[in-house]
Structure 1
Amino acid sequence: MISVEKDSLQQQMESFLSRFRQLNKAFELNDQSYSEMEETIGQYTAFIVHPDHEAAWGAMPEQTMHFKELAEDLRQEACHCVWAMEKHRARAWLENRPDIADYFHNIEDCIEAEFQGAGMNKHSKVLMIGSGAFPMTPLLIQRRTGAQVVGIDIDAEANRLAVQVLQKLECREIQIEQLTVDQLSFTREATHIIFASTIPEKFDLLQQLHDLTNPDVIIAMRYGNGLKSLFNYPLLEVSPALWTLSEQVRQPGQVFETALYRKSAAVTAFSSARGEFHGSC
C-alpha cells in the first residue's frame, strides 16, 4: 500500500480547494462547467474514501489554525459544488439527459445502508431536512418502504426542481415544502427525521426539534468525521438530557456515515420497562 505523506495530503487539499472555487464561480456564471465538476467530485470522493489518506489524516499532529481553516473552506466549497451538481442533475434528468456523477452513485449506496439501521417501514412518516434539487433520499425511501415522506429545503430553486422531478415521475406520495421545522405541522407526526450531511446548522436544529417532535422519533444524522469531515459536517456533542446517541451506522468506503438519536427520556423509559420485565420473569 502506498504511503501518503502529511504534506502531500495538505497539498492535495489545497489543490481541490482551488479547483472547487474556480468551478463554483464558473458554474454560477454560465452553468457550463458541470462536466468538469462531475469529474472533480468523482476524484474528490475517491480522495475522501481512500484508506491511505484516512491513515495520513489520523497520523497528523495537532492541526494548525491554517490547516483547520483550509479544511473548513474546502468543506464549504465542496458542499457548494454538490448543491450545484444536484441542480444540474435535476435539470439533466428533466431534459432526459442521463449523465450522473460517481458521487451520486456513492450517495445512493449510503442511503441503502441507512434503511437497515433506522427501521423504516410502510407505516413510517419520514421528514427529510435538506432534500435538495434531486430528492434521492425521499424517492428511495418511498420506493423501498412505501412510507409517507416530506422533504424540506431552504433553497427555493432546489425545491422548484424537486417538485418538477416528482411531477414527471407522477409521484404523489412525496411532498416538498419550503418551510422550517417549526412551521411544518408534519414535524410532530414524523416517526423518522433525516438530516442531509451538508447542513452546517444541523445540531442547532436537532436541539430545536426536541420540543417539536413526538416522544419516539428517530433522528438519522448524516455526518463525516476525520477525513470525511472534508465533505460533511462532523458530529458534535449534544445535551444528554435531550438526546441519546443510540447507534452509529459506519460505512467504510462510503462518503458519509449516520448517527441515530432518540430522545433521552424515551431511552430511559425503554430501559426501565425492560428491567421491570426481566425482573418479573
Structure 2
Amino acid sequence: MPASQKGLLNHLYERKQKLIYIVKRLAYTLECKSKSFRFIKLKSEVTTLKEKYELLCSLKVIEVEIAELARYAKEFDGCYDLLKSKLDDLCAFINRKENIVKWDQWSGLEEVQELSQQLRETSVNALCDVEKYQSIRAQQVGLPVGQYVSSLAQSVRDEYDNFGIHSESNVLFIGSGAFPTTALTIAKETGADVICLDIDQVAIELSRVVARKSGLENQITFLHGDIKAQHDFQTITHVFIASLVKDKHEVIEVLKEKVWDGTKVIVRFGNGLKSIFNYPFNDMITGNWLQHAVPPENSDSIYETLVLEKESKVLI
C-alpha cells in the first residue's frame, strides 16, 4: 500500500475515533443532564406533595383545636379567650401568601374540600359561641377587642365611606349575630339608623344588651326571624348580608322583590382560602342588579365584598 494511502487511512481512523469519543461524551452528558432533570423533577414533585400534606395537616389541626376549645369553653368559660385567640390565628392563616399558594395548588382535591367545609362549619359555630360570650361579658367588663373584631371594624369603616352611608341612611343587616360589630360601628360613627335581623333569638336578645351598653339602643332596632317574613323596606337605603349567611342567593332573590330602586346590597363572602371562615359565593346574579366587586382596602381583609344596586326596570 502506498504511503500516501496508508497515511490517509490513519487520518480517517483517527477522525473516526475522535467522532466516536465525541458521541460518547455527548451521550454521557445527555444522560447526566437527564438524570439531573429527573432528580430536579422528582425533588419538585416531592416538595409539591409535601405542601399538599402540610395543607391537609394544617386544616385538620386547626379544625380539631377550634372544635376542642369550643367544647371546653362550654365547661369552663375561661376557654373562650383561648377560642377567640385561635379564631384570630385562623384570620391570620387565611391571609398568609404561602397558604394561599398551597390552596391554589390543592383545593380541587376532594379531601381538601371535605376538610375545608368541616373547618368552616366548626369555625362559624365557634364564632357564634364567642360572640354570645362577648355580649354577656360586655355587660360586666366592657366591650372586647381582638384581631377579628378590630379587623372587622376597620373593614366596616372602609365600607361606609365607599358606599355613601351617612346620618340619613337606613341600613338593614342580615345575619347580624350576637355581637353586631358592623351595626355598632355604622350607628356610632355615621349616625345612621340600623336594623339588625337574625334567625337566632338568643343572638338578638344578647345584641340588644350590647347596643344598650354602647348607648346606641335608640339607633339600632333588632328583629328576630327570616328575611321572607319582613315587609317594611320602603326606607331601606343599604342592606348588608353577613359572610356567615349561607344561602346568599336565596336572600338576594327575596330582596330583589322587596327593596326599592337604588338600594345597595353589600354581600360579604369568602372564596378561595377565605372560604374556611366564610361561606363562599358565586357572583352570577340574575335580575335587574348593577354589580361590582370591591377590592379590599388592606391585605388583612377577612372577607370579600360584592355590591349590588337595584336597577330600575326599563319599560318598552
Question: Taking structure 1 as the reference length, what is the TM-score of the superposition?
Answer: 0.86
Question: Is the 2:248–2:281 Cα contact (8 Å) retained in structure 1?
Answer: no
Residues 117 and 249 in structure 1, CA contact (< 8 A), matched pair in contact too: no
| d(CA) in 2 for partners of 1:28, 1:201 | 28
1:1-281 matches, within 5 Å, as 5-60=51-106, 63-97=108-142, 99-171=144-216, 172-251=218-297, 252-263=299-310, 265-266=311-312
| Alpha-carbon displacement from aligned partner over 1:26-84 (angstroms, at most 9, x marks no partner) | 33445442022022112111111112211221233x61222211111111111111111
- Distance across 1 between alignment mates of 2:303 and 2:65: 22
How far the C-alpha of 1:258 sits from its partner, in A, is 1.1
Whose Rg is larger?
2
Cα separation, partners in 2 of 1:63 and 1:72, compared to 1, 3 Å: same
Contact 1:224 1:234 in 2 (8 A): yes
Read off the aligned partner of 2:243 and give its amino acid letter. Answer: S
* Preserved contact between residue 57 and residue 226 of structure 1 (Cα < 8 Å): yes
Alignment check: 8 A CA contact 1:110 1:256 kept = no
Q: Letter of the 1:256 partner, please give it.
A: Y
**Structure 2: distance between partners of 1:139 and 1:159:** 14
Q: Percent same amino acid among aligned pairs?
A: 25
Q: Which amino acid is the alignment partner of residue 226 of structure 1?
A: G
Give the match's secondary structure for 1:151: strand
- For residue 80 of structure 1, what is the amino acid of its counterpart? N
Question: What SS is found at the alignment partner of 2:228?
Answer: coil
Alpha-carbon distance in 1 for matches of 2:143, 2:166: 30
C-alpha separation in 2, matches of 1:235 and 1:228 = 11
**CA offsets 1:134-178 (integer angstroms, 9 cap, x no match):** 221111111222111110111111111111122233321111111
Per the alignment, in what secondary structure is the counterpart of residue 257 of structure 2? coil
Within 2, Cα distance between the matches of 1:76 and 1:209? 26
* Paired position in structure 2 for 1:279: none
The two structures, once aligned, show a CA RMSD in angstroms of 2.1
Q: Mind listing any 5+ residue stretches in structure 2 that lack a counterpart? A: 1-47
8 Å CA contact 1:26, 1:33 repeated in 2: yes
Equivalents in 1 of 2:173, 2:88: separation in Å? 25
Deviation at 1:238, TM superposition (A): 3.3
Q: Which one has more relative contact order, counting CA pairs under 8 Å at least 6 apart?
A: 1
Q: Is the 8 A contact 2:138 2:213 kept in 1?
A: no
Q: Which moved more, 1:140-149 or 1:3-12?
A: 3-12
CA gap of 1:99–1:191, structure 2 versus 1, over 3 A, is closer
By how many angstroms is 1:192 displaced? 0.4
Q: In the alignment, what sits opposite 2:15?
A: none
1:71, 1:84 → 2: CA distance?
20
CA distance in 1, matches of 2:199, 2:164: 27
Query: Matches of 2:90 and 2:219 in 1, distance apart?
Result: 34
Question: Greater CA deviation, 39-48 or 93-102?
Answer: 93-102
Structure 2 distance, partners of 1:80, 1:241, is 32
Q: Normalization by structure 2: what TM-score?
A: 0.77
Please, which runs of 5 or more residues in structure 1 have no aligned partner?
Answer: 270-281
Q: For the Cα contact (< 8 Å) 1:223–1:235, is it kept in 2?
A: yes
Aligned residue in 1 for 2:38: none
